[in-house]
């Protein structure tokens, strides 16, 4: 399924929160929690009992099934005679089965439609590409034209974010007291700054993924998981690079356009030679890979990008018939 998101400008849906779908969702969640208790599932596997949302701590949201909404003349008609003029972000490929209307932390209203995903096939190019993920550069590829440098959106906005953090610290209410209007205003300004950075990261990743998918039929990307970087000195830079979001955008774009995307296990990809398959251990500070068996010399990240192709059996020039030992690739779901 795919969700199309649109913005609802200048209209409030607070009065719609009394709709029957909210009660049905509450009943479904409560029944699931009671069923897990009756089945004596462990605590970590049980669904939590639903709780009331606090007005100032939770953003409102409401769900409508097929009978609770309809689209007519580009407008969204909700149950209860609510008619909304919307700003569409994209066209829906097929009639939606449900919609979720919600408000984000900034105060903007959105509607997320659930509809069947469709595949928009692009012309065949006969080209393939290997992609190595990293911290110094977000993505290093076998093609010089598709490398993705670290944009550092968070670093550029750090001065503004720090300023809003200090504003919140000065206006923070005492324990047990309600927050002041000035504190809520500073909190909203910080949320808007963070939302802008998140949007910049998403936009950069999606544009890069679109260019890669349009120019290549087969894509081998490192199945990089930055969880192990969370406790290292590179954690902040890795988070700013949005590695997981960029990889997810590439997988979704490849699925949308019918491309063959393979995920390669990252074990030993920085130590293997793309030409002969030998392993040569280098320190992380050494950015040039030199093979001790065949003498191949190339940038370390470029060598890892070629290893991605070799791992999935799409041998690049100079590596015909050779395949380094190690975990194999899996196809992106």
pLDDT of 326: 46
Average pLDDT, the chain: 84
Q: What is the mean pLDDT of residues 275-301?
A: 83
pLDDT of 14: 54
Contact 16, 82 (CB under 8 A): yes
User: Does the pLDDT at position 95 exceed 70?
Assistant: yes
pLDDT digits (tens, 9 = 90+) for 164-223: 999 999 999 998 888 899 999 999 999 999 999 999 999 999 999 999 999 999 999 998
The contacts of residue 86 (CB under 8 Å, 6+ apart) are 6, 7, 8, 74, 75, 76, 111
Using the CB atoms, write b or e for 70-86: b if 16+ within 10 Å.
Answer: eeeeeebebbeeeebeb
pLDDT digits (tens, 9 = 90+) for 166-182: 999 999 999 888 889 99
Question: Could you tell me the CA-to-CA distances from 252 to 27, 127, 145, 255, 298 in Å, in that order?
Answer: 33, 19, 21, 5, 31
pLDDT digits (tens, 9 = 90+) for 111-124: 999 998 888 899 99
pLDDT of 19: 55
Domain boundaries, the chain: 2-115, 128-151+205-331
What percent of the chain clears pLDDT 70, i.e. is strictly above it? 87
Q: What is the mean pLDDT of residues 228-256?
A: 88
What percent of the chain clears pLDDT 90, i.e. is strictly above it? 38
At 5, is the pLDDT very low, low, confident or very high (cuts 50, 70, 90)?
A: low
| Phi, psi (degrees; rounded to nearest 5) at 158 | -65, -35
pLDDT of 320: 36
The contacts of residue 22 (CB under 8 Å, 6+ apart) are 62, 63
In terms of pLDDT, which residue wins out, 231 or 30?
A: 30
pTM exceeds 0.85: no
Which tokens is 21 given? 């779908």
Question: Could you tell me the CA-to-CA distances from 82 to 106, 118, 224, 300 in Å, in that order?
Answer: 23, 30, 45, 58
C-alpha–C-alpha distance, residues 191 and 249, integer Å: 23
User: Does the pLDDT at position 7 exceed 70?
Assistant: no
Place of tokens 């290549």: 216
Can you say whether residue 102 is alpha, beta or left, with left for phi > 0 and alpha for psi between -120 and 50 degrees?
A: beta
Place of tokens 């928009």: 120
User: Does the pLDDT at position 4 exceed 80?
Assistant: no
Contact 133, 89 (CB under 8 A): no
pLDDT of 83: 87
């Amino acid at each position: 399924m795919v969700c199309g998101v649109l913005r609802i400008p200048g209209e409030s849906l607070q009065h719609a929160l009394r709709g029957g779908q909210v009660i049905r969702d509450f009943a479904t969640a409560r029944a699931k929690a009671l069923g897990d208790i009756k089945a004596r599932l462990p605590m970590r596997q049980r669904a939590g009992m639903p709780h009331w949302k606090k007005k100032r701590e939770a953003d409102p949201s409401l769900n409508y099934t097929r009978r609770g909404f309809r689209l007519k003349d580009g407008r969204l008609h909700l149950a209860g005679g609510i008619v909304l003029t919307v700003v569409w972000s994209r066209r829906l490929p097929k009639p939606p089965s449900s919609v979720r209307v919600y408000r984000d932390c900034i105060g903007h209203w959105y509607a997320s439609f659930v509809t069947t995903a469709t595949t928009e096939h692009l012309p065949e190019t006969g080209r393939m590409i290997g992609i190595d993920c990293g911290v110094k550069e977000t993505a290093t590829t076998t093609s010089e034209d598709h490398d993705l440098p670290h944009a550092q959106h968070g670093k550029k906005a750090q001065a503004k974010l720090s300023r809003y953090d200090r504003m919140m610290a000065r206006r923070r209410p005492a324990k047990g007291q309600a927050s002041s209007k000035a504190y809520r205003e500073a909190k909203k300004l910080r949320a808007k700054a963070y939302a802008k950075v998140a949007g910049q990261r998403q936009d950069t990743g999606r544009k890069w993924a679109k260019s890669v998918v349009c120019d290549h039929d087969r894509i081998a990307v490192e199945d990089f998981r930055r969880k192990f970087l969370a406790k290292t000195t590179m954690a902040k830079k890795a988070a700013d690079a949005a590695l997981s979001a960029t990889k997810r955008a590439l997988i979704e774009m490849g699925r949308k356009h019918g491309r063959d995307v393979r995920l390669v296990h990252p074990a030993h990809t920085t130590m293997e030679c793309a030409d002969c398959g030998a392993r040569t251990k280098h320190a992380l500070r050494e950015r040039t890979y030199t093979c001790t068996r065949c003498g191949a010399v190339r940038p370390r990240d470029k060598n890892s990008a070629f290893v991605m192709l070799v791992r999935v059996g799409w041998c690049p020039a100079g590596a015909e018939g050779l395949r380094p030992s190690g975990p194999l690739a899996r196809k992106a779901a």
